[in-house]
Structure 1
Amino acid sequence: MMNKHNEVVCFGEILWDVLPGRELPGGAPMNVTYHLSKLGRKATLISRLGNDERGIALRKIFEDKGIDTSYVQTDASHKTSIVLATPNEAGDMKYDIVEDVAWDYIAQQPDHEALISQARYFVFGSLTMRSKTSRDTLLALMELPCRKVLDINLRAPFINKADIIYQLKKAEVVKMNEEELALVAGWYGNYIGIEEKMRLLQDLFQVETLIVTRGAKGAAINYHNECYMHDGFKVQVADTIGSGDSFLAAFLSEFMKNKDVEAALTFACKVGAFVATREGGCPEYDVMF
């Protein structure tokens, strides 16, 4: 498949978020792919689904939405992934991520090299490093020439310090939330302010663009050692599933236009806030921001 039109390639989990009374499509890399597509960017996902009802349903959902699934593999031996998601009173989610599922077995394929090398960004997360097969595939793909975007998703018990440090050293763009920033910065000392923690990681790992989402408090971006802050938009939260993923997609989509950090940050906050008002990580919408 020719991939010259793919601006962004995402790698990692595709799954069903199982909430009380309903199941919704999700997975951070899948959410990013979805929102990039909704925002008019050509994006594709490298992942793996089981050859089961959930896998067939997920593939159909995204094909119906016009999202490229050419690089989503089918696994005859492992089930499509589910995540048990439980909201608290504030709408924030607690996740129980089932192991030994299809996306733990993403295999490297010959067409991945051209796919990624010709893209503008390669987006991957920390969670995919939990299993040997997908980890080995990702490590190989991270060596290809493309601007790399690390989306840190620290979910106990899948937190491996050495793997996260390795990924940080490889990425030009890093996105994490405020709690993840505190955890990673805490490996190196007792740092107090958010800007201090962000500069620490930028200096340690030579990260060009460090993005920290802060929930209802907005977000912060340190770009080439200059910090930009946005207080966010006040909304009625349905749940926070996919809000950070949509933020990342919106930031990349806008930043690709002219590298205006402030404009991209504002746009990303708008999209992330909107997604928080809807259920699940992939709500339907038309671009209206």
Structure 2
Amino acid sequence: MQGADVTMLSAVGDDKNGHDAIGILSAYGIDVSFMQIIPDAPTGTVGVALDNNGKPTFVIHQGSAWDQLVWNDAMASRITTADAVSFGTLGQRHAVSGATIRRAVEAAATKGIPCVLDINLRPPFFDAEMIRDSVQLASILKLSDDELVEVCFACSISKTDQPEGDLRGLLEFGSLDMVVLTRGENGAVLVTHEGTFTQDGIDGNVIDTVGAGDAFTAAFLVGELRGYAHDQNLRKSCEVAAATCAHSGSVPEARSNTSDHSEISDRGAVT
């Protein structure tokens, strides 16, 4: 959570996995009061297989509770008091959850709240329209080098020989504030209206890369909210992602959420 107060908006089944998930999130100090329990759908599960380099492939099961996330008045109130909202593409695979997520982002945008789109393309759960509409809803776009070609195609951006040209095309297409591209062991590139910033990869022991992209996004968003210089924020975010790769699983042992909050308002972030 990188020192932010986080509220999770999602849904789980009324089953052991669901109750365990809420317990784990609570142990990390995440506000779960807006989590929805769907009695007639199972908690979402994902199969993960790692290759010899620790890079995962996923089997994401369908018919999950998080596909049935519905909009309500309490969610509307929470969204408009956040410092930022983070959303992805995978959560929009079902019409019900997709409509809820888009409504949440639109509510935030009308209040001038930054909306971070973390692209997560998992075939067959996306199409060009979803990608294009999501980019146009966001103010900050984060994607990986594996996703760049697909996102450029969806947004009718002609690929160039250099990632910076592609990212600038996306910046203009979505009227975005910034676009950040993660490049695995090669670091990251950030493009803003002020310039381009690059960060080399961080050396470290890679056990598995599950959760590294999410860790990067969390660190990057909090750094932006704190007003870190772009080069400083990019390096810190890469360091956090590298640390995530150094242990098995996407999260370390739970510990008290006592990081310094002084530079972020008490409104928190919603994901």
- The question of a shared fold, defined as TM-score above 0.5 by the shorter chain, is answered with yes
CA contact 1:202–1:225 (8 Å) conserved in 2: no
CA contact 2:28–2:254 (8 Å) conserved in 1: no
CA distance in 1, matches of 2:79, 2:229: 25
1:76 pairs with 2:39:
yes
Q: Which residue of 1 aligns with 2:148?
A: 181
CA distance in 1, matches of 2:191, 2:95: 33
Instruction: State the Cα distance separating 1:128 from its structure 2 match.
Output: 1.2
What letter corresponds to residue 33 of structure 2 in structure 1?
S
1:148 pairs with 2:112:
no
Instruction: State the Cα distance separating 1:189 from its structure 2 match.
Output: 2.6
CA distance in 2, matches of 1:174, 1:188: 15
What letter corresponds to residue 193 of structure 1 in structure 2?
Q
Q: 1:140-191 CA deviation, whole Å, 9 max, x = no partner?
A: 1121122111010011111211111111111110110011112222443342
Runs of at least 4 residues off by over 6 Å: 285-288
1:223 pairs with 2:186:
no
Q: Which residue of 1 aligns with 2:61?
A: 98
Q: 1:100-147 CA deviation, whole Å, 9 max, x = no partner?
A: 100000011111122111111111001111101101111211211221
TM-score (norm 1): 0.83
1:119 pairs with 2:78:
no
Instruction: State the Cα distance separating 1:259 from its structure 2 match.
Output: 4.1
Percentage identity across aligned positions? 29
Q: CA RMSD, aligned part only?
A: 1.6
Query: What secondary structure does 1:71 align onto?
Result: coil
* Bigger mean CA offset, 180-189 vs 109-118: 180-189
Structure 1: stretches of 5+ with no match in the other structure: 1-35
* Bigger mean CA offset, 264-273 vs 248-257: 248-257
Structure 2: stretches of 5+ with no match in the other structure: 260-271
Q: Which residue of 1 aligns with 2:262?
A: none
In structure 2, which of residues 170, 179, 183 is the aligned counterpart of residue 201 of structure 1? 170
CA contact 2:88–2:118 (8 Å) conserved in 1: yes
Instruction: State the Cα distance separating 1:72 from its structure 2 match.
Output: 0.9
CA distance in 2, matches of 1:194, 1:138: 29
CA distance in 1, matches of 2:194, 2:131: 21
CA contact 2:27–2:254 (8 Å) conserved in 1: no
Q: Which residue of 2 aligns with 1:262?
A: 231
Instruction: State the Cα distance separating 1:242 from its structure 2 match.
Output: 0.6
Q: Which residue of 2 aligns with 1:157?
A: 124
Instruction: State the Cα distance separating 1:64 from its structure 2 match.
Output: 2.4
Q: Which residue of 1 aligns with 2:134?
A: 167
What letter corresponds to residue 197 of structure 2 in structure 1?
Y
CA contact 2:36–2:69 (8 Å) conserved in 1: yes
TM-score (norm 2): 0.89
CA distance in 1, matches of 2:121, 2:158: 19
Q: Which residue of 1 aligns with 2:28?
A: 65
